[in-house]
């Protein structure tokens, strides 16, 4: 990273916040910042892949909120861009509580999604999703993007999120995480169940960014 910084190559380190490192996140951000890095991505732990064998890795909700509060304070006082890249249910991390951190969102526009390809041409709608929606060596993109599976992503009819005013933006968190846990796109983000989170209740829409 030092070599890249010295040669004016932009560097954005990623910190995945887990039960093992959550107490060290701010010190790590400070370290990167002192090296001259001013863009850092901080992601909550998103269960999937090999991580399914390490179910102790997510923090508690209050640990994660504490870390984000510290990060928000740091971003307020320093010239640094801190992003939260893994979309997180607003009932776990509500962006209004962390105004100096930028939160990513899952787009309905397929061309704004983190489309992920493997060497065999299989295409997934996000690097977190285990489902191949098509294959670019065998199909055109326009053919792939008419797959009915895409419409399932737009269907936000999830029992847990019924009546939540944040639904249009939050979309129930990361449903690729649901796929990773063998649930369907009809399920809200499994971190909600893991951390025993209650749905959000708002008195008005001003509490939603
Ligand atoms: S209830 Fe659903 S839509 Fe509302 S904040 Fe929680 S996960 Fe998001
Ligand atoms: S699938 Fe999950 S990680 Fe990927 S963009 Fe959507 S919410 Fe974010």
Q: Tell me the CA–centroid distance for residue 178 and ligand 2, in Å.
A: 11
Q: Tell me the CA–centroid distance for residue 81 and ligand 1, in Å.
A: 26
0.85 exceeded by pTM = yes
Share of the chain above pLDDT 70, in %: 96
Interval 161-180: pLDDT, tens: 988 989 999 999 998 999 99
**Residue 206 confidence (pLDDT) above 70:** no
Mean pLDDT of the chain: 91
Q: How confident is the model at residue 201 (pLDDT cuts 50, 70, 90)?
A: low
Summarize the confidence of residues 196-203 as an average pLDDT.
74
The ligand minimizing its distance to the Cα of 113 is 2
- Of 44, 176, 191, which is best to mutate to test ligand 2, by the most ligand atoms within 8 angstroms of its C-beta? 176
The values of phi and psi at residue 133, to 5°, are: -90, -15
DSSP state letters, 42-110:
EEE----GGGGG-TT-S--HHHHHHHHHHHHHHHHHSS-EEEE-S---TTTS-GGG-TTEEE----SSG
Interval 95-104: pLDDT, tens: 999 999 999 8
The ligand minimizing its distance to the Cα of 105 is 2
Summarize the confidence of residues 77-90 as an average pLDDT.
94
- Of 106, 168, 177, 181, which is best to mutate to test ligand 2, by the most ligand atoms within 8 angstroms of its C-beta? 106
Interval 117-134: pLDDT, tens: 999 999 999 999 999 999
Q: Is the CB of 44 under 6 A from ligand 2?
A: no
How large is the C-alpha radius of gyration of the chain? 18
């Amino acid at each position: 990273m030092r070599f890249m910084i010295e040669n004016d190559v932009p560097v954005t380190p990623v910190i995945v916040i887990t039960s093992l490192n959550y107490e060290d996140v701010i010190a790590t951000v400070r370290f990167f910042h002192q090296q001259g890095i001013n863009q850092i991505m901080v992601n909550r732990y998103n269960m999937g892949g090999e991580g399914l064998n390490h179910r102790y890795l997510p923090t508690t909700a209050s640990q994660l909120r504490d870390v984000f509060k510290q990060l928000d304070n740091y971003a307020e006082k320093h010239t640094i861009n801190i992003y939260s890249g893994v979309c997180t249910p607003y009932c776990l991390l509500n962006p209004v509580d962390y105004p100096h951190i930028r939160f990513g969102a899952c787009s309905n526009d397929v061309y704004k999604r983190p489309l992920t390809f493997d060497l065999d041409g299989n295409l997934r709608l996000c690097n977190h999703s285990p489902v191949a929606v098509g294959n670019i060596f065998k199909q055109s993109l326009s053919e792939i993007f008419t797959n009915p599976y895409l419409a399932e992503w737009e269907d936000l009819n999830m029992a847990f999120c019924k009546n939540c005013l944040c639904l249009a933006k939050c979309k129930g968190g990361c449903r690729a995480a649901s796929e990773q846990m063998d649930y369907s796109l009809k399920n809200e983000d499994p971190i909600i169940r893991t951390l025993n989170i209650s749905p959000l209740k708002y008195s008005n829409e001003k509490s939603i960014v």
